[in-house]
């Protein structure tokens, strides 16, 4: 999927509280042709998710108003589990955190800092499901 392919039609919501990380992920995804929306908090993400109906949501573990787990649960309440494609992107690397994320239906888990090619490969893989 390139700029001339289906990537342009795919919407990704990036949920991250650090603006420089948001801008970095946003730039990588936009360069590949994805439509990118951003949210700096869980509440902001909840406001956007129903309106934009993203194909993928990337979620950080630590948000200013809730954890990534709390956000996933809230999104499940809004959209249902089956419609979600979630990539958990965080600097937290603890087995318990990873296991909980996966039990909540997260499709993939990336550790920061995320390399460009790893992010793009993960997005492509999650979109195949």
Q: The tokens of 46 are what?
A: 């909840």
Instruction: Name the architecture of domain 6-119.
Output: 3-Layer(aba) Sandwich (3.40)
- Return the sign of the alpha-carbon dihedral for residues 102, 30, 66, 43: negative
pTM: 0.91
Q: What is the mean pLDDT of the chain?
A: 91
Average pLDDT over residues 95-124: 94
Instruction: Answer yes or no: is pLDDT of 2 > 50.
Output: no
Tell me the sheet residues that pair with 67: 62
Average pLDDT over residues 95-120: 94
pLDDT band for 6, please (50, 70, 90 cuts).
low
Domain ranges of the chain: 6-119
Instruction: Answer yes or no: is pLDDT of 129 > 90.
Output: no
At residue 58, the pLDDT reads: 98
């Amino acid at each position: 999927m390139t700029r001339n392919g289906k990537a342009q039609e795919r919407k990704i919501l990036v949920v991250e509280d650090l603006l420089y990380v948001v801008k970095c992920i946003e730039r990588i995804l936009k360069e590949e042709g994805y439509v990118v929306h951003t949210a700096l908090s869980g509440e902001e993400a909840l406001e956007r998710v129903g309106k934009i109906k993203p194909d993928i949501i990337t979620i950080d573990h630590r948000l200013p108003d809730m954890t990534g787990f709390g956000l996933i649960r809230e999104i499940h309440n809004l959209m249902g589990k089956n419609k979600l494609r979630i990539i958990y992107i965080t600097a937290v690397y603890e087995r318990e955190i990873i296991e909980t994320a996966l039990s909540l239906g997260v499709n993939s888990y990336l550790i920061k800092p995320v390399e460009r090619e790893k992010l793009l490969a993960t997005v492509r893989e999650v979109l195949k499901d």
